[in-house]
Structure 1
Amino acid sequence: MAAIGLIVLLPLAALIGIAAEGDMEIWPHLIANVLPASTLDTLALLTGIGVVAGSMGITAAWLVTAHRFPGRGILVWLLPLPLAVPTYITAYIYVEIFDSAGLVQMALRDVMGWKSRSDYWFPEVRSLPGCILVMSAVLYPYIYIAARAMFLTQSASMLEVARTLGASRIKLFRIIALPLARPALAVGVSLALLEALNDIGASEYLGVRTLTVSVYNTWLNRGSLPGAAQIACVMLAFVMGLILIERYGRRDRRYAASPKRHRTVHPVPLVGARGWIATVLCTMPVVLGFVLPTAFLLRETFRGSLFDQFDADFLAHFMTTIGLSVVATCAVLILAVVLVSAVRLAKTPLTKGALFVAGLGYALPGTVLALGLMTPLVGIDNLIGTLWRNLTGERLGLLLMGAAGGIVIAYVIRFLSIATGSLSAGLDRVSPSLEDAARTLGASRREMVWAIQIPLMRPALASAALLIFVDCIKELPATLLLRPLNTETLSTLVYTYASRGRFEDGSLAALVIVLVGLLPVIQLVRSAEARPRVAESPSSAASGSPSPDDRH
């Protein structure tokens, strides 16, 4: 148990050590030239995403839950779909469509007879507002899913009493429904902002110099590992701030449904213009975050005959992606079963502490995680190489860093909390009487895990495996920074094409990522629409930090 917790804490300790070993003369340069602009851009980006994505998610969740309007039935299924599209792919597509050399502006110049940009004005997509809009279009489902889950569990009686007292629909939403959903909204917004802080592809490509981009540039482009570590420590302050904000948003706010059967919210019809306005408000996020990116990828794939790219090299990149994701998923599930079973059988401070530490991995941005893992992994490789050379007299080379082991370890640390949250929530719905009966029959702890807990966790294991597998495929920052030479995954392949200004050539790889990402999203919608869910998972309530079980 302690070893699992140390695996998560190791990169943090290494990161602080690297930052402390750096030349103190770096700090004046960072404070004068890097941190002010990067910090302001990061704050502005997170604030903008919180407002825009929050408005999209909350508005759509309330409309589809509390009202009936044209297209509502299909929009309930479509609204979560942008989760399947990574932020960096959406950014590349929006530049291809809306930049000065993009499809929209070229069409406008042809139709209107404009000769250059000086003849007209068009919003700049490569800007901070453009980045906020692009990332919000992809990240709003985190807030939508959390808000809708809470709205579905609210009793209709409270809303009906408010209506009889003369409350308008807007006042009813503002005074009753929204405050009751605050715990779920705090989780959803925090998860969306953590995803935005983890991003490197979208913000870099759209010209927003966030702290994440500064870490990447300082490390690789300027060759200063200590300087990158010092910036990463500032990023950790942002992460802790987001977690504290999330906990503040949920402080002393625990709502439980009545044990008596109660009626849930019954949708009220919106007729005429109001109904069509609701349809437009709910359709626009889907178009911006899913329909437009997917349609562009399909167009470029067929238009450029990119299916011809499915050659031996592409197949090798695809198999590398699948192999890394499968290995990481299996490792995460094994560790999660050990953690959750240990907590279930013995609720000691050690087991609870290990479970809490495991949940911190998801809050670490991929760049910070990669930077913290670099030194320990190289040290382990050197130690193994020394021992092998002493035993055999031959050089062994790098095992972890040279064979993509570092990527797998980063995936395990980052996504372990998804599995622990899912399995904890699954076991908490199982009556303890089953385990008590097994104890009275003389079952050992190992027998209880194999014969009772693992069979009962199979649905949660399958769900967690699918989510982790797809998240590994989409992960860019950690993969980009820890990959060995001449190793490409689908995500790094898309990034490479985009960095060369040829993103359209990477449309096939991007399309594969999106199509694979649709699988857990569709399963999520099926589960959510089959029965109302509580908005706050037991694992999240226990840890006080955003739970990836809530995220998915």
Structure 2
Amino acid sequence: MLGASLGSSGDLFSHLWQTVLPTYIANTFWLSVWVVLLSLCFGVPAALLVSQTNLWSQKVLRWALLLPLAMPAYLVAYLYTDLFDYAGPVQRTLRAWFGWESARDYWFFDLRTLGGAAFVLALVLFPYVYMLTRTALEQQDKHLLRAGRSLGLSVKQTLWKIALPLARPAIMVAASLVMMETIADFATVQYFAVNTLTTAIYDTWLGYGDMAAANALASVLLLFVLFAVVAEQRSRAGQRHQSGRPNTSPDVYALSVSQQVVANLFCWTLVLLGFGLPFFLLIQMAVDYADLSQLGALAEIGLLTLEVSAIAATVAVLVSLTLALFQRFYPRKTNNLPVQISGFGYAVPGTVLAMALMATFGPLDHWINDAAVAFELSKPGLVLSGTSFAIIFAFVVRFAAISNGTVTAGIAKIPHSVDKAPASLGAGLLHTLRRVHIPLLKNSIIVAWLLVFVEAMKELPAVLLLRPFNFETLSTFIYQLISDEQLEQGAIGAIFIVLFGLIPIIWLNKDKQ
């Protein structure tokens, strides 16, 4: 991609820099900042309430606060815009109640702004902050918190001065994930007409037809990603907070009745706005506008989506298993590099990844066809960049880090003595893996597969740019309907994506009910 950007004449890039590019960069920066801040304001208090207090609905909220992860941000953007726009039911009802005749008679917030985009993205991304912060708080050594209380600190002071600083590494990791997801977002910001570097890349390539300039813009976007990753790592470099054998027995802080009401209202509002209300609106659309004649086309697109996502998830899990087991059975300092390198793709936005793959697969396709002609064979065509291979490859690169983390965590729980016991009985390595390690890793493999599968189903920017002609997935199909203000026609497909997104959440929490 970097090499392809050098082929740009510089005219279009120079024109963009002199006109709109500074605004795109500023929008990207401020959007990321606001989404991270809002996600922290939503996720950190929710994690504290669920993990540190006697919240009334704690058992339900523990998993319910993860539900917004199943809801694509562009769906929430469309549904809320349709609900709160001037012609939407909320403003129509207000005008009927108060006798207002036009927008000049009253003030109402506008979602189609940078602030609206930040709010919508934060609603679906704050579960990253909540999940990692809650886990960090639950794994803290409670002796440290009790020591603070014995020294005269109040409950609030203990949480503010001890618990949250201890959880800071996890919070920073979550903030970096939210920032990278925000930078990678395409459909939400485009629908809200908030021009960012991601939309600039898309418009430069497909609008102006200048792939070299688009690659140059993608290189600029990579600088934002690099900044996010380096800032996150530097922020927690050398930190050692937890004791070797922490006491994680729960120490629950009692809330008063008024505090219980406020805390429950806060948490359930997040669940309602991030998942409950959008899902209800989708069901209402499906009931009111479902057309049985469209189910055939929708089923065909759905089956293709399932096929591509399943292949990508299977390949990603096989790669993760191979690399993680290699690292386990051949423990050398350099043998962890393959796992680390294969996880780099998660930090790369889907639009940038698509540009990189096109810059790579396009010349390779031409080379393959030229080689076929040289050997007097028929041209195979665009076998890499013109088929679903590029999409599957992008999914594996983009989401390998998810699979790596899940499989590696599962392997770390297996005692090293298990590796040696079968060998002492004469079993070979392959036999040991098949009869011992793979069965022990079954849950980790299933979770990794489900996570990659769901993320592949929801991925939009990479598919938009890499898909061949007449190739649709549920995400691109719904995106086209949203662009045409016709989501009602694809509400069933949107519900299908959301329901599949719920599977990993249910699976991860089935043992914690």
TM-score tier, shorter chain, comes to over 0.9
Who is 2:249 aligned against?
264
Q: Note if contact 2:64-2:271 (Cα within 8 Å) is conserved in structure 1.
A: yes
Q: C-alpha root-mean-square deviation of aligned residues, in Å? A: 1.9
- Measured in 2, the distance between the counterparts of 1:163 and 1:377 equals 61
Q: Tell me which amino acid in the other structure corresponds to 1:288.
A: L
Q: Note if contact 1:38-1:210 (Cα within 8 Å) is conserved in structure 2.
A: yes
Structure 1 residue 309 corresponds to structure 2 residue 309: no
Distance 1:306 1:161, change over 3 A: farther
Give aligned pairs, total: 513
Q: Tell me which amino acid in the other structure corresponds to 2:288.
A: R
1:512 paired residue among 486, 496, 512:
496
1:466 paired residue among 440, 450, 453:
450
List per-residue Cα deviations over 1:340-362 (Å, max 9, x = no partner): 12211223455322221111010
SS of 1:398's partner is coil
- The Cα of 1:443 is off from its aligned counterpart by 4.6
Who is 1:176 aligned against?
162
Q: Note if contact 2:290-2:488 (Cα within 8 Å) is conserved in structure 1.
A: no
Structure 1 residue 522 corresponds to structure 2 residue 506: yes
Stretch deviating more after TM superposition (407-416 or 517-526): 517-526
Structure 1 residue 454 corresponds to structure 2 residue 438: yes
1:166 paired residue among 148, 152, 155:
152
Who is 1:227 aligned against?
213
Who is 2:92 aligned against?
106
- The Cα of 1:289 is off from its aligned counterpart by 0.5
Percent identity, aligned pairs only, is 34
Who is 2:271 aligned against?
286
- Measured in 2, the distance between the counterparts of 1:460 and 1:251 equals 28
List per-residue Cα deviations over 1:200-220 (Å, max 9, x = no partner): 000111121111111111111
- Measured in 2, the distance between the counterparts of 1:174 and 1:258 equals 23
Who is 2:188 aligned against?
202
Distance 1:175 1:507, change over 3 A: same
Who is 1:540 aligned against?
none
List per-residue Cα deviations over 1:297-352 (Å, max 9, x = no partner): 011111113455312x1111011101100111111122112211221122345532
Q: Note if contact 2:316-2:396 (Cα within 8 Å) is conserved in structure 1.
A: yes
- Measured in 2, the distance between the counterparts of 1:157 and 1:256 equals 11
- The Cα of 1:168 is off from its aligned counterpart by 2.4
Stretch deviating more after TM superposition (220-229 or 66-75): 66-75
Who is 1:252 aligned against?
238
2:3 paired residue among 6, 14, 17:
17
Stretch deviating more after TM superposition (177-186 or 217-226): 217-226
- Measured in 2, the distance between the counterparts of 1:69 and 1:307 equals 45
List per-residue Cα deviations over 1:421-470 (Å, max 9, x = no partner): 11111111111122223444555444443344333322211110011111
- The Cα of 1:21 is off from its aligned counterpart by 1.5
Q: Tell me which amino acid in the other structure corresponds to 1:254.
A: R
Runs ≥4 residues deviating over 6 A: none
- Measured in 1, the distance between the counterparts of 2:240 and 2:206 equals 45
- Measured in 1, the distance between the counterparts of 2:173 and 2:100 equals 47
- Measured in 2, the distance between the counterparts of 1:78 and 1:233 equals 38
SS of 1:167's partner is coil
Distance 1:148 1:308, change over 3 A: farther
Gaps of 5+ in 2: none
Structure with more contact order per residue of length (Cα contacts < 8 Å, sep ≥ 6): 1
SS of 1:268's partner is coil
Stretch deviating more after TM superposition (160-169 or 57-66): 160-169
Stretch deviating more after TM superposition (291-300 or 89-98): 89-98
Distance 1:449 1:273, change over 3 A: same
Who is 1:155 aligned against?
141
Q: Tell me which amino acid in the other structure corresponds to 2:298.
A: F
1:296 paired residue among 278, 281, 302:
281
2:348 paired residue among 348, 364, 382:
364
Structure 1 residue 76 corresponds to structure 2 residue 66: no
- Measured in 1, the distance between the counterparts of 2:187 and 2:125 equals 15
- Measured in 2, the distance between the counterparts of 1:323 and 1:49 equals 33
1:484 paired residue among 465, 468, 480:
468
Structure 1 residue 375 corresponds to structure 2 residue 345: no
Q: Note if contact 1:81-1:518 (Cα within 8 Å) is conserved in structure 2.
A: yes
SS of 2:485's partner is coil
Who is 2:407 aligned against?
423
List per-residue Cα deviations over 1:217-270 (Å, max 9, x = no partner): 11111111111111111111111111112112321223445437x352322221
Who is 1:130 aligned against?
116
- Measured in 2, the distance between the counterparts of 1:30 and 1:344 equals 50
List per-residue Cα deviations over 1:340-392 (Å, max 9, x = no partner): 12211223455322221111010010000000001322233333334445556
- Measured in 2, the distance between the counterparts of 1:416 and 1:336 equals 7
SS of 1:416's partner is helix
- Measured in 2, the distance between the counterparts of 1:412 and 1:424 equals 17
List per-residue Cα deviations over 1:516-540 (Å, max 9, x = no partner): 100001222335x37xxxxxxxxxx
Structure 1 residue 400 corresponds to structure 2 residue 400: no
SS of 2:9's partner is coil
- Measured in 1, the distance between the counterparts of 2:293 and 2:283 equals 14
SS of 2:265's partner is helix
Q: Note if contact 2:290-2:489 (Cα within 8 Å) is conserved in structure 1.
A: no
- Measured in 2, the distance between the counterparts of 1:52 and 1:455 equals 42
Structure 1 residue 347 corresponds to structure 2 residue 351: no
2:477 paired residue among 484, 493, 501:
493
Distance 1:345 1:112, change over 3 A: same
Q: Note if contact 1:65-1:152 (Cα within 8 Å) is conserved in structure 2.
A: yes
Structure 1 residue 63 corresponds to structure 2 residue 49: yes
- Measured in 1, the distance between the counterparts of 2:5 and 2:216 equals 5
Who is 1:276 aligned against?
261
Q: Tell me which amino acid in the other structure corresponds to 1:140.
A: F
SS of 1:464's partner is helix
Q: Tell me which amino acid in the other structure corresponds to 1:323.
A: E
Q: Tell me which amino acid in the other structure corresponds to 2:251.
A: H
